[in-house]
Each structure stands twice: as structure tokens, then as C-alpha cells.
Amino acid sequence: MFSFLKTKKNNGINAASDSTLKNTSDIPYSTNPSLNKTKSTESTKDTWVFIWNMTADKVGHAAVQIGGSKPKMQEEDPGEYASIHPNDIPSAGLTSVLPLPAHIATNLSQDMETLGASEHAVAITDMDGPIKVKPDKEAKPLPPDHIYHFKALNTSAMSDHLKESHKKVTTGEMGYQLFPNVNLVGFFKDSSAFISQDPIDIEMHRRISEKQTDNSKVHNCTSLVSEVLNKGGLPIKHSKIKPWVITPNGLSEELSSKAHKF
């Protein structure tokens, strides 16, 4: 996201330490079944938010986890983890204002591997198809810069919203767009007469003619995470004017005064 913007001041927010992620398997588990049941019930009330900083060179990212007493590193770990990405096509330059097919990462390891690979990715351009990215196989996983932990949010409402988001992404009703507040699909819907050799015009017309994702149902990573948190009763400000809605650094600044930080 937002690679052309300068990074904002961190305001003293603590970065996630390696030990926070490495030691997630070291949390004690009681041999008393009744205590384990209590811990399991309590952990369903946990909410985690993961932020990768936006800088002049990196787009940044955000993810949310509902439930689980620790970050969800593997698919079998407790909790519902979600973050939205463009599916195969990078969202940068011209494609930052286009609704793209999306997919949702379902554990922290997936995001760390994807973001680590994206730092060293090479764009492949085929004039007969969309831009794709070839990841660097030697890239290392990139851990989040900040991890925020909340208790007692409305996890049921957040879970329902995530399930609905998963369904919409699967059916193509929801897509990824770096700038969700820019609605070029609506502008170009009846503009076939303006199609020329401009690549953005051509791409927009192609997507409309193929009935691809409706621009009214798009998210970037931070807009989805903040919408989920709002459903849980944690108010996060959404801009209706700024193209990006909210940046990873902006979301981090809001969360820093409301949550336990690692």
C-alpha cells in the first residue's frame, strides 16, 4: 500500500519483538481440564491486530485475529486470522485505483512469507494479460512491526463480519483496491467512447465488460481491519475523502493509545 507516501512519526510505538512470535508455543497449558476450559473460553475474547509499517519504500500492511491466546502462526492454531491481499496482480501505479481480485490470508505465517517475498519481487509484464509478480524464493519472512492485543471486544460480531467477507471474496463480490475511495468503475461505466491507447482506460473497460469486482465492495488491508474492529465496538476513524481511507501507520497510531502493545 501507499509506497509513494513518506512514513509517519512512530510516536514511541513499540515494535513487535522476535520473542513475541517465537515464544507463542511456550504459553503454559494446565493439566487441570477445568482450568483449560476456562482459559479456552477467555481466549475467545482476545483480539489481535498486526501492523507492518508503511515507509517510502514499503507499502505496509495490517491484519486482524479474533480469538486465540497468542498470534495464530499456523492454520491449526486457535483463532480467526484475516488480511486481504490482491490476488496475483500487484496493486501499485496504475492498478492502485483499480478493483482487483482478492484473497484473504488466514494465519500470520502466510502474511510474513508474502510480505517478505514482496520486498524482493520482480514484476512480470505480459502485454496480453495483467501484471504479475514473481517472488524471490530466497526471501525471508517479514514479521509485523507492531502487535496490539485487545480484550472483551464483541468477537461474535467481528467473526460474523469476517465470515461474510470470506464469502464475498470467494464469490468475487468483494475485491482489493489500494484506494477504496476512488470509484473509477462508476466513472468509466458508460465511457466506451473515451477508450483509446491509455492503459488505464483499456484496463477499466476490460474489467467492466468482464463484470469483474464492483468498486463499491472493495477494501485495502487497513480499511478491512478497521471495519472489523468497528464491528467489535472499537471505534476507528474512516476517511471518506482520502483515497486510501486509513494507512497502516494511521491505524497503528489510533491503536497505540487503546491496546496492550508487544
pLDDT of 180 reads 82
Q: Read off the pTM.
A: 0.72
Q: Per-residue pLDDT tens for 99-155?
A: 889 999 999 999 999 999 877 654 444 444 444 555 556 779 999 999 999 998 999
pLDDT score recorded for residue 69: 94
Q: Which residue has the cell 501507520?
A: 249
| SS3 category, 46 | strand
165-177 pLDDT tens trace: 999 999 999 999 8
pLDDT score recorded for residue 194: 45
Bridge-based pairing state of the strands 218-219 and 175-176 = parallel
Question: Domain coordinates of the chain in residue numbers?
Answer: 47-257
Measured CA to CA, the distance from residue 195 to residue 184 in angstroms comes to 13
Find residue 64's DSSP bridge partners: 49, 82
- Judge whether residue 93 has pLDDT over 60: no
CB 102 within 8 A of CB 85: yes
pLDDT score, position 35: 41
Q: Please indicate whether residue 233 or residue 27 has the higher confidence score (pLDDT).
A: 233
Displacement of CA 260 from its chain's centroid (Å): 20
φ and ψ of 209, to 5 deg: -65, -30
CA 114 and chain centroid, separation: 12
Position with higher pLDDT, 242 vs 203: 242
Give per-residue pLDDT as tens, 187-238. Answer: 444 444 444 445 545 555 555 555 544 445 899 999 999 999 999 999 998 7
Q: Higher-confidence residue: 100 or 239?
A: 100
DSSP 57-126: S---EEEEEES-SS---STTSSSEEEEEEESSS--SGGGGGS-B-EEEE-SHHHHHHHHHHHTT-EEE--
146, containing H or E segment: strand 146-151
